[in-house]
Structure 1
């Protein structure tokens, strides 16, 4: 028999009682209270240090007990602590649970979140993607873009040449916009289908084929909806929930700034590179000019000794690398693409 306090659920008064456990029954007696209930119908709170155990009876009344003998009497009458409580007291199992949780979180971030972002991005309404892209383009024009200084004839020639190129079936609709940039050579694929190319990138290209290769690369980003997928992956679950319930204000507020600052993942870049190589090869155009462009930009970014004598255009060339990381692996891949096409032609 142990001491406890009983609360009848009608007043805040506590009734001192004695608890008796016998063959699966819990009986309490004292201060005008006398009743019994099967222990199997009693909910017992988990043990917490320096806190009483709470026994919730079926009718909503409860018992508070601080007697250290309670756990032994509960066990003796067939009560078993929940599995999670037993695990908490077993440090190897607790450690295993922690490691398992970490593994699940890492796997979810590495594979689950990208897969979910891909699936959701492909289901988002076209109107939402258009609104996000429009906001982003407006932000660019207000912040660091100016009207293009390329002649209308030059712009038209590049647009017409790219439009005439064969592209894979199902390629997305697009619109090419030229801008003069305050931050140097760059190109962006916006969720609304707009590809922005800067005058500085056109000027840095060793040949028009390099410009066409970059445009094909950006079209690959549009095809795979990389901007929206990156947005969903990085900004996270809150934006996804808002989009699913129809509240797009949060996404529209956050997306333009995020999309301007983001650097595509290596996987995204490889997908866009593969698309560009396929388009260029289908039109029997070389990838080496694009490799030369990336190589020139990489050299501009690493040639610190010549920084004092480099002209402004070369100084800015490294800016393109901030969102389109160029490295020896990618440059070599572009050159191998030309070699494979030459080998096919020879056969």
Structure 2
């Protein structure tokens, strides 16, 4: 027999009682209190080191027990803790569960989330990507880019050249080619709504129509495979879809400009788009070496800027201004892409096999 505190579930009054368990029947006795119940009819809280155990009755009444002998009484009456409680109190099983949870979380992030993003992106309504892309373009134009200085005739010529190209695999992917003068240097990017932005600086650095067309084919590959949307869903979680469906995309739209300017596509995405560009140039019987030359030139430019920044940093006791950082980062068009060497070799090999 042990002492306990009984609460009737109707008030906060503490009622001292004595408790005994016999033949798997709990008996409570106290002033004006006589209550019996079978162990199978009550819920017994799990054992914690510094907390009392609680018996909960179906009608909401509870019994609070601080006496350690209660555990012995339970064992004597063949009470078995719930299986989950047994696992929690078994450290090898708890360690195994923790390791399993970590593996599941890592696997979900590494493979599950990309898979889910891919499935969702393939079935999203076109209005979703259009809204994201339109709002993203407006914000990019407001904060990061200015109207192109290429002549209207030059812009029309490049648009016409690309429009005349056949898309691989019989694709009819919709897109809109736009030119901008940029604060981020030579760059090209694809928005979720199918808009492909190419900067004047990239056109100037390419110095060759075939190089420009190859880069545009690469960006069209991103559009074709919904890479921007899939990457955005992965980065923000698929909850963005729920927010969109209930009409609240403000939080997503606020992050889009910076996200699109720093699209850390996976290398698989980049290789997929590189292959799309190769297939597109091949089907149109256009050389890929100019595109390889452009990548080499951009890589050399990036290395030069990196070395210059390092030397400047040493002269200034390793202190660089925010403006320096912005210029150095903005040139890194290939930052998340496969290595320059890998891409250049692949493009030149594709040229030799044509």
Same fold (TM over 0.5): yes
Give how far 1:206 is off: 4.1
Is the Cα–Cα contact under 8 Å of residues 46 and 53 in structure 2 kept in the other structure?
Answer: yes
1:121-132 mapped onto 2 (5 Å cutoff): 121-132=121-132
Task: Report the CA distance shift for 1:43/1:307 in structure 2 as closer, same or farther (over 3 A).
Answer: closer
Measure, in 2, the Cα distance between the counterparts of 1:102 and 1:46. 25
SS in 1 for 2:334: helix
Is the Cα–Cα contact under 8 Å of residues 133 and 256 in structure 1 kept in the other structure?
Answer: no
| Cα deviation code 1:111-137 (max 9, x no counterpart) | 000011111122222122112111221
1:1-347 mapped onto 2 (5 Å cutoff): 1-168=1-168, 169-303=170-304, 307=308, 318-322=331-335, 326-341=339-354
Measure, in 2, the Cα distance between the counterparts of 1:260 and 1:32. 75
Measure, in 2, the Cα distance between the counterparts of 1:179 and 1:326. 27
Is the Cα–Cα contact under 8 Å of residues 267 and 337 in structure 2 kept in the other structure?
Answer: no
Measure, in 2, the Cα distance between the counterparts of 1:154 and 1:99. 59
| Cα deviation code 1:64-118 (max 9, x no counterpart) | 1011011121122122112222222221111111110000000000000001111
Give how far 1:31 is off: 1.4
Query: What number of residue pairs does the alignment pair up?
Result: 336
Measure, in 2, the Cα distance between the counterparts of 1:125 and 1:255. 19
TM-score by length of 2: 0.89
Give how far 1:138 is off: 1.5
Task: Report the CA distance shift for 1:318/1:11 in structure 2 as closer, same or farther (over 3 A).
Answer: closer
Measure, in 2, the Cα distance between the counterparts of 1:176 and 1:102. 44
Task: Report the CA distance shift for 1:67/1:202 in structure 2 as closer, same or farther (over 3 A).
Answer: same
Is the Cα–Cα contact under 8 Å of residues 131 and 252 in structure 1 kept in the other structure?
Answer: no
Measure, in 2, the Cα distance between the counterparts of 1:58 and 1:319. 65
Give ranges in structure 2 of 5+ residues lacking alignment.
310-327
Is the Cα–Cα contact under 8 Å of residues 2 and 19 in structure 1 kept in the other structure?
Answer: yes
Give how far 1:325 is off: 5.8
Give ranges in structure 1 of 5+ residues lacking alignment.
309-314, 342-347
Is the Cα–Cα contact under 8 Å of residues 145 and 181 in structure 2 kept in the other structure?
Answer: yes
| Cα deviation code 1:171-202 (max 9, x no counterpart) | 32001111111221100101111111111111
Is the Cα–Cα contact under 8 Å of residues 177 and 195 in structure 1 kept in the other structure?
Answer: yes
Give how far 1:316 is off: 9.8
Give how far 1:10 is off: 1.9
SS in 1 for 2:178: strand
Measure, in 2, the Cα distance between the counterparts of 1:305 and 1:194. 31
Give how far 1:234 is off: 0.7
| Cα deviation code 1:211-251 (max 9, x no counterpart) | 00000000000011111111111112442432344433332
TM-score by length of 1: 0.91
Is the Cα–Cα contact under 8 Å of residues 189 and 198 in structure 2 kept in the other structure?
Answer: yes
Give how far 1:209 is off: 0.7
Measure, in 2, the Cα distance between the counterparts of 1:80 and 1:288. 74
Give how far 1:322 is off: 4.2
